Amino acid sequence: MKSMNPEGQKSEASKVAAIVVGGIVIVVFLVLVFKNSNSSSNPASSGANTSTASNAQITNAPAQAPTSQANQQSNSPEINSSQITASDIAPYLTGVYGVLCYRKDDNGVEQLYDTGSGSLWTFSDGSDDIVTNEHVIAGDDYCVIYNSNVGMFGLNLSAVKVWNQLADEAIIPVSELPSSKPVSGLPSVNSLNYDISSLQDCPSNVPQDSPVLVIGYPAFSTILNTNNPEEAFKNQITTNGTISGYDAPSKNQGLPDSNYYISATIDSGNSGGIAFSKNADGLCLLGIPTWITLTGNFNNEGIVQNIHNVTWTGSN
């Protein structure tokens, strides 16, 4: 019988253990290599690798990211979309007048020649005047203003002032009526309603779709004076709309700001009246309705001179 050798047995066992451990290490290594290779070819199979790729894309993204809509809006004037109400304009209705101007015909007889609208203003020099379009009063012999709730007054055409030489505006002192048209019981000139001149001006670039309200005496509201058929009076009319766009050529004509196209109905006779809008602070003066474009085939847009194009300097 072969005798047992403990030391030899231990040596054989160590060799076997080393082979087994080495085999396990090789298997583990191969598994890891295969897994990493598969993960690289399919990034979606590994959440960690997908996150790393995403972060790399953000880091390398172009710096010129498009401006967000919110940022674009914050750089534009705020639109006040609330409508202009009857209570908003009630304090100013008795400050808007119809304008009637007379000129001698070929026979030397005074005839009604021009009509328009105007608004009462008090200026920093203390004068109480009416503001209208220069084209309404140009070349006429005399003019009167009337408001059915207040009465009729004269205009002193010998003392006409202008806002500036580019805008179609005129400032005329209000006076007593011509001797040929006396009316008794009228309030004094300096007690009339000049509140329009105390209202805030709108910003110089009121956005499109902002509300507009026009007060004036358009031709379509004409009523006849039964005591004098040659004298046509008009009713005071208010019309609503929005700012449609901008009359950009006004800047090319030397004016500081664009005038406005508006959707509110205006007609001949509205010239020289007043147009309101609203901004973040409420009701404001948009400008002076001045003319209508006649280039459309069907619809015509009214134009309002920007209030900032008719700023009184006191030296003109």
pLDDT in tens, 172-216: 999 988 776 777 788 999 899 999 999 999 999 999 999 999 999
pLDDT in tens, 103-119: 988 888 888 888 899 99
- Give all domains of the chain, ordered by start, each with its CATH number: 94-309 (2.40.10.120)
Confidence at residue 294, expressed as pLDDT on a 0 to 100 scale: 52
Confidence at residue 70, expressed as pLDDT on a 0 to 100 scale: 28
Q: Which H or E run includes 49? A: helix 47-59
Buried-state track 174-199, b at ≥16 Cβ within 10 A, e below 16: beebeeeeeeeeeeeeeebbbebbeb
Residue pair 261/107 in contact (Cβ under 8 Å)? The answer is no
Which is it for strands 302-306 and 259-262: parallel, antiparallel or unpaired?
A: antiparallel
**For residue 241, is pLDDT > 80?**
yes
pTM over 0.75: no
Confidence at residue 19, expressed as pLDDT on a 0 to 100 scale: 52
Confidence at residue 80, expressed as pLDDT on a 0 to 100 scale: 78
Q: Please, is 143 exposed, middle or buried when counting C-beta atoms within 10 Å of its C-beta (0-12, 13-18, 19+)?
A: buried
What average pLDDT score do residues 146-164 get?
89
Using DSSP's 3-state secondary structure scheme, residue 172 falls into strand
**Residue 172 — φ and ψ, nearest 5°?**
-130, 130
Residue pair 272/289 in contact (Cβ under 8 Å)? The answer is yes
pLDDT in tens, 120-134: 999 888 889 999 999
Q: How many residues does the chain have?
A: 316
Confidence at residue 295, expressed as pLDDT on a 0 to 100 scale: 54
pLDDT in tens, 248-306: 776 667 788 899 999 998 888 889 999 999 998 999 999 999 876 555 554 566 889 99
Q: Which H or E run includes 176? A: none
